[in-house]
Structure 1
Amino acid sequence: MMGMNYHRGLFPDLKTIATLTRHAVEQGVDFFDTAEAYGPYTNEELTGEVLAPFRGKVAIGTKFGHSLDSDGLDSRPERIRQVCEESLKRLKIEAIDLFYQHRLDPNVPIEDVAGAVKDLVQQGKVKHFGLCEVRAETIRRAHTIQPVTTIQSEYHLMWREPEKDVLPVCEELGIGFVPYSPVNRGFLTGAINEYTNFNIGSDNRNILPRFTSEAIRANTAVVEVLNRFGRTRGVTTAQIALAWLMAKKPWIVPIPGTTKLAHLDENLRAADLILSPEEVRELEDAVSQITIVGDHYPASEQSKVGK
């Protein structure tokens, strides 16, 4: 739901958002992702409004962990409780299906964070606990206090860091994994080139190292690999990127975002593309020959992930 009003160029109007959401639900989509920080606040409000007709038929995940007044991090238990109450009102629901810590707060032990969410679960205000962009040790520590349901981190063919230690601990502990930006913020669709303008609206790609003209020019080789692979199968590069993720593990659930009906249908059709282990290896071998240019975050943001 983030693209409705945050970090992605020009935003659709409410009627378009409602139409897109209704179509998604009719096609079987039953999980939607938002956050207090998207906007801030307005993304949750929009999510609550457009999903109101489908209450009880869909699950909503939202996030806490930011100090929106100071542009820093704040996961103090009292702040978690405050965000929960405010998010429930904005989302127009009685319980948050999945409550993520958006970024690890170095000033608050993860055990205290998990304990605060555990209290909210016991009170019936939260159903499940999730973490975003954390390392394996943090997951283990949190899980001992309150079972972690899901980890959300960036993961796609151009960024495979979670494979090192996060995915193994997820499999060990029975935790799901939700890759955000599964088509690398649109890059793996093939629709972006070195002349693409990201200075529209609030599009954050204009500050990401991987989206400089030089990086795009170099990394287009990855899209060419997907193009060759898809051409013989009658599928798009985005569908291959999504199918690759779903082929990795049955408990990996990517959350591609879009503001366009055609792209929504394209993404959903990826679920029908089943890659064999041999095809997965073929893709990975081809992409591994390419040197990816550009970090996935600038230094100021990179310091907040993988903790």
Structure 2
Amino acid sequence: MTTTQSLPKRPLGKQGLVSSIQGYGCMGLSGFYLDKDVPTGQTDVEDGIKVIHRAIDLGVTHLDTSDIYGPYTNEELVGKAIAGKKLDCLATKFAISFGAEGPTIDGSKEHVRRSVEGSLKRLNVKQIDLYYQHRVDRTRPIEEAWQALKELVNEGKVKYLGISEASAAEIRKAHAIHPISACQLEWSLWTRDAEADVIPTCRELGIAIVAYSPLGRGLLTGQYKSASDFHKDDWRLQGQPRFRGENFDKNLALVDKVRALAAAKNCTPGQLALAWVHAQGDDVFPIPGTRRVKYLEENVAAAHIKLTADDKQALEDIFDVKQVAGERYDPDFMTTTHQSGAKR
């Protein structure tokens, strides 16, 4: 299914932010998910800009990036792409760095201030529409970061605030200091753990849900058949158990079961999976990413697919939580997720 129909908009959160009903996740343009057909795996900057421009042409007014993507190069690419363009929601994030010992999370006031200045410069903007705490620093009170973020709003450097991969309790603490407009979390047919308490908490507080990796990091599209379909340095193979060994084979089998359902809806498996995320409610804004215009157009078309209650149930029966093989991250990075925060 393809379409040239533009994306409508609706409020994102309760503080005044507006967004197209589907955004574009820019991460894959700068590392992590690598292009097998390119020796370095990296998307050319000009090609990345073309994809972003096409997204904007199709009505995408919500771009999502982070200082850790690259690191830094993704914000620079986005900054070049949006020059002279109008967006409703330019979103970026702070807090994560990667070192030899694994991920480091810094929620200190000093780091918040250093980070926002760097992002403003790389994006070449005077104000960031939506600024997320990418991960919660659990070595210090969350209030420290959020007092600093509140100051950034008061100073006009940031317009609205978001949080990512936070537990329900952490969301409540942050929201008490300054209203949260959006909570970003992984939500797709094969990642549904946030439905237990994080998503209900967001809905209770009027916080919009920005669903990252709504296509299961590409696996739900049906494009991948074996590990050889990935670049050897692709992060999915390095840090995500679902893409390795028997787990990968078992998860591919689940995707195969979706093909008949997708054919009946005259769409691709990926479009059906993305339509399922859209069907979760008007407070949900998926941000699928891709390096290719063809798949970008398919993703935008998915926003217009309507699922029946039977369609939803059939998909959920296939992707029962017990059927998905493997954790979404290796143990070191799982400590940065809302699941780890809930255990504190």
TM-score class, shorter: over 0.9
Match of residue 81 from structure 2: 50
1:212 aligned onto 2:237? no
For residues 147 and 310 of structure 2, the distance between their equivalents in structure 1, rounded to whole angstroms, comes to 43
Check the 8 A contact 2:240/2:327 in 1, yes or no: yes
Residue 202 of structure 1: how far off its partner (Å): 4.7
How far residue 58 of structure 1 moved from its aligned partner, in angstroms, is: 4.1
Distance, in Å, in 1 between the alignment partners of 2:265 and 2:198 is 32
Residue 268 of structure 2: which of 236, 244, 247 is its match?
236
Aligned to 1:22: 53
Higher RCO structure, 1 or 2 (CA under 8 Å, sep 6+): 2
What's 1:299 paired with? 331
- Letter of the aligned partner of 1:146 in structure 2? H
Offset from partner CA, 1:117-166 (integer Å, 9 cap, x none): 11100111001111111111111111000001111111111110010001
One-letter amino acid of the structure 2 residue matched with residue 172 of structure 1: E
**Secondary structure at 1:37 match in 2:** coil
Name the SS of the counterpart of 1:179 in structure 2: strand
Task: Give the partner amino acid of 1:226.
Answer: V
| 2:62 aligned residue | 31
Aligned-pair identity (%): 37
Distance 1:39 1:204 in 2: 15
Q: Is the Cα contact below 8 Å between 2:255 and 2:269 reproduced in 1?
A: yes
Cα offset, 1:211, TM superposition: 0.4
Counterparts of 1:53-68 in structure 2, within 5 Å, are 53-54=84-85, 56-67=86-97
Give the secondary-structure state (helix, strand or coil) at the position aligned to 1:295.
coil
For 1:183 and 1:291, the matched residues in 2 are separated by: 17
Alpha-carbon shift at residue 208 of structure 1 (Å): 1.2
In the superposition, the TM-score normalised over structure 2's length comes to: 0.85
* 3-state secondary structure, aligned to 2:84: helix
| Aligned alpha-carbon RMSD (Å) | 1.6
Q: Which residue of the partner structure matches residue 136 of structure 1?
A: 168
Q: Which amino acid aligns with 1:42?
A: T
Which residue does the alignment assign to 2:42?
11
Tell me, what secondary structure is at the counterpart of 2:202? helix
Over 3 Å counting, the alpha-carbon distance change for 1:147 and 1:197 in structure 2 is: same
Greater mean alpha carbon deviation, residues 21-30 or residues 67-76: 67-76
**What SS is found at the alignment partner of 2:327?**
coil
Q: 1:142 to 1:198 in 2, by over 3 A?
A: same
- Aligned pairs for 1:1-307 (under 5 A) are 1-9=26-34, 10-54=41-85, 56-67=86-97, 71-288=103-320, 291-306=323-338, 307=341
Q: What amino acid is the match of 1:35?
A: S
Question: Residue 74 of structure 2: SS of its match in structure 1?
Answer: helix
Cα drift, residue 195 of structure 1: 3.8
User: Does the CA contact (< 8 Å) of 2:162 and 2:180 recur in 1?
Assistant: yes
Deviation at 1:193, TM superposition (A): 2.0
1:18 Cα deviation after fit: 1.8
> Could you give the per-residue CA deviations for residues 165-214 of structure 1, whole angstroms, max 9, x where no partner exists?
01101111110011111111110011112343434455443331100131
Say if 1:198 and 1:206, in contact at 8 Å, map to a contact too.
no
Partners of 1:234 and 1:68 lie apart in 2 by 42
Q: Could you tell me which runs of 5 or more consecutive residues in structure 1 were left unpaired when the two chains were aligned.
A: none
The Cα offsets for residues 217-245 of structure 1, whole Å up to 9 and x where unpaired, read as 11122212221211111111111111001
